[in-house]
Amino acid sequence: MDRLLDVRQLKTAQLGPLDLAVQPGELVQVTGASGAGKSLLLRALADLDPSTGEVMLNGEARDAMLPVQWRRRVAYVPAETAWWGERVDEHLPADFSREAALHLLEQVALPEASLGWEVERLSSGEKQRLGLVRALLNRPRVLLLDEPTANLDLENTKRIERAVRAYLAEEEAAALWVSHDTLQRQRLGGRILTIRDGQLEVNAWT
Ligand SMILES: Nc1ncnc2c1ncn2[C@@H]1O[C@H](COP(=O)(O)OP(=O)(O)OP(=O)(O)O)[C@@H](O)[C@H]1O
């Protein structure tokens, strides 16, 4: 069985140790009560918080890569994306393909002109949709999505679900997706990880 992401004995002060394997193209849901450790798991996988254990991407060890290289491949997308420059396009990867950007913008129902919008004017839902576009333009192998539709209406939520599914299929990438929404969980289906008190309690197919 192919493993895109292979995690053994991942441990931080509040999390684990836990083991996990994710296949290419797979969308794995992450659930658990508030404070269970879902964000901590995604942050540890993205190497945003220090952790011990072995994390491999396509057989390459995290420890053999610079954190910046790892984070481009294993990308954490928080619900509240951070923006620092003035215009949206200042936040996109330097070598981004305009064609790819337009394709993604269309999928999340934003106009081409949004690339030139001032960050200050963005609504929380626009930030969330543009945050996903920004992340996908880096072509990550693993997407770590922390409530990626928390600020969105149902129509736009479904657009994001379709855009992520299309990306995973096209790129044979994988996603871990944190959601509190029961209906969304039914729509997404697949494997569900349940975190409780920093431990992996359930790792099962729906
Ligand atoms: N840097 C830190 N130091 C100590 N404790 C922390 C730190 N960051 C988070 N925690 C605690 O670890 C626990 C898990 O936090 P985490 O953000 O992963 O929860 P979560 O499952 O994502 O919750 P929610 O669904 O509310 O977003 C919480 O009790 C939180 O207060």
Asked if residue 64 lies in contact with residue 41, where contact means CB atoms within 8 angstroms, the answer is: no
ipTM of the complex, rounded to two decimals: 0.94
How far away, in angstroms, is 14 Cα from ligand 1 center?
A: 8
18-22 and 27-31: which strand pairing? Answer: unpaired
Which residues lie with the beta carbon below 6 Å from any ligand 1 atom?
A: 14, 32, 34-40
Tell me the mean pLDDT in the region 136-145: 97
**pLDDT-derived band at 85, boundaries 50, 70, 90:** confident
Asked if residue 122 lies in contact with residue 80, where contact means CB atoms within 8 angstroms, the answer is: no
Q: What is the pLDDT of residue 186?
A: 93
- Hunting for tokens 């836990």 — which residue is that? 18
Question: Strand pairing partners for 143?
Answer: 75, 175
Q: What is the pLDDT of residue 206?
A: 72
Structural domain spans, the chain: 5-85+139-205
- Which CATH number among 3.10.180.10, 3.40.50.300, 3.40.1190.20, 1.10.260.40 corresponds to the domain 5-85+139-205? 3.40.50.300
Q: Of all atoms in ligand 1, which is nearest to the CA of residue 180?
A: 25
Q: What is the pLDDT of residue 205?
A: 83
Taking the C-alpha atoms of residue 110 and residue 8, their distance in angstroms, rounded to an integer, is 40
Query: Residue 44 is encoded by which pair of tokens?
Result: 């540890």
Q: What is the 3-state secondary structure (H, E, C) of 14-30?
A: CCCCEEEEECCCCEEEE
How far away, in angstroms, is 198 Cα from ligand 1 center?
A: 9
